[in-house]
Structure 1
Amino acid sequence: MIAELKLISLADHSSFESFVPEYPLDFGVDLRLYIGEVGGDASDSFSLTVCSPDWLRRECASQGFVWRWDLLIVEEFNRVEIVQVLQRMVSRCVGETWDIVVAQLARRMQWEFDTYA
């Protein structure tokens, strides 16, 4: 089973395609990725933050630290490159079952069911 990136939106469900940060070298944006099995219609939701080093530096300065495992850090905002990186990472998640694939994805992003008991 191989994972496939089906859709990317902003965390508030608005369009990632129309998002343009005010400062492409200093930005942080929360994304929601819909990922499912290649060729299938179903998908699960995963969340992560894409940010620049300047944004991360600012966050660290304001808080004194940053403790996050769900970050993709890019030099500047370039939608095409961000999508390519995400597609490449997702397509490398393979396993005999969807649970195995999800476990790989959940190492880099928050899975919608992470907090379910």
Structure 2
Amino acid sequence: MKPKVRYFDAVDADLDDFSPEDPEDFWVPIQVIVGPADDAKAEELIQFTVCTPKALQAAVAREGFLMGRSLVIVDSADMVRIKEFITTEIEKIEAPTYAGVGVQLAWLGNFEFEDNAIS
């Protein structure tokens, strides 16, 4: 089975017109809605945080450390390229079952059903 990206969403940003105040220093949480490629009705949520190296550096300087799971580290605020990259990474996953796909999705980002997929 393979996952298919349905669409992208964000609570704090308009992804279609994304232009942070400083394109070299930003964080933006995004949500990706995915489902099985062969079932257009099923959908799950994966969350990522897109950020720049400068934003990471500032966070580490402030806190002294930073956990890195579900981060997508970018060199620009080009949301078209960011979406293309995330879509490619998600859609190259393949497993015998959708539960297996879920395990792999949970490695990329915060997967809505990761506790179910891992157990």
When residues 24 and 14 of structure 1 are mapped into structure 2, their CA distance, relative to the original with a 3 A threshold, is closer
When residues 35 and 93 of structure 1 are mapped into structure 2, their CA distance, relative to the original with a 3 A threshold, is same
Q: List gaps (5 residues or longer) in structure 1.
A: none
The alignment's C-alpha RMSD in Å is: 1.8
- Deviation track 1:30-53 (CA, whole Å, cap 9, x = no partner) reads 011101111422110011101000
1:73 aligns with 2:73: yes
1:107 aligns with 2:107: yes
Tell me the equivalent position of 1:44.
44
In the alignment, residue 36 of structure 1 is paired with which amino acid?
Answer: G
Q: CA deviation at 1:14?
A: 5.9
Tell me the equivalent position of 2:34.
35
Percent pairwise identity: 26
In the alignment, residue 107 of structure 2 is paired with which amino acid?
Answer: R
Residue pair 1:26, 1:76 contacting (<8 A) in 2 also = no
In the alignment, residue 79 of structure 1 is paired with which amino acid?
Answer: M
- In the alignment of these two chains, the number of paired residues is 116
Between the aligned partners of 1:15 and 1:38, the Cα distance in structure 2 is 26
Q: List gaps (5 residues or longer) in structure 2.
A: none
Tell me the equivalent position of 1:87.
87
Q: CA deviation at 1:100?
A: 0.4
Tell me the equivalent position of 1:20.
19
Structure with the larger helix share: 2
TM-score, structure 1 as length reference: 0.90
